[in-house]
Amino acid sequence: MTPGGVRTSHGVCVPAREVQVVNRQGIHARPATQFVQTANRFRCRVTVHKGNVKVNGKSIMDMMLLEAGQGTRLRIEADGEDAGPCLDALDQLMRDKFHED
Partner 1 sequence: MHLMDFIRTDAILADLKADSARAAIDEMVEALVKAKAVSAAERRKVVDAILKRERKGTTGFGNGVAIPHAKHESVKGVVATLARSAAGVEFAALDGQPVHLLFLLVSNPEKPEEHLKAMEHIFRSIKNDNLRRFMSQATTRQELVDLLREADEELG
Binding site for partner 1 (CB under 8 A): 24-30, 33, 60-61, 64-70
28 belongs to the catalytic site = yes
Question: Among 10, 28, 49, 99, which one carries the catalytic annotation?
Answer: 28
For residue 97, the minimal CB distance to partner 1 (Å) is 13
Q: Centre a 10 Å sphere on the Cβ of residue 68 and count the other Cβ atoms it contains.
A: 24
The smaller minimum CB distance to partner 1, of residues 7 and 24, is found at 24
Measured from the CB of residue 69, what is the shortest distance to partner 1 in angstroms?
5
Helix, strand or coil, per DSSP, at residue 40:
coil
Q: Which residues touch 21 (CB under 8 Å, ≥6 apart)?
A: 27, 68, 69, 70, 71, 72, 73, 74, 94
Minimum separation from the CB atom of position 44 to partner 1 (A): 21
CA–CA distance, 46 with 75 (Å, rounded to integer): 10
In terms of CB distance, is 51 or 85 closer to partner 1? 51
**With respect to partner 1, which residue has the nearer C-beta, 14 or 72?**
72
Q: Which residues are catalytic?
A: 28
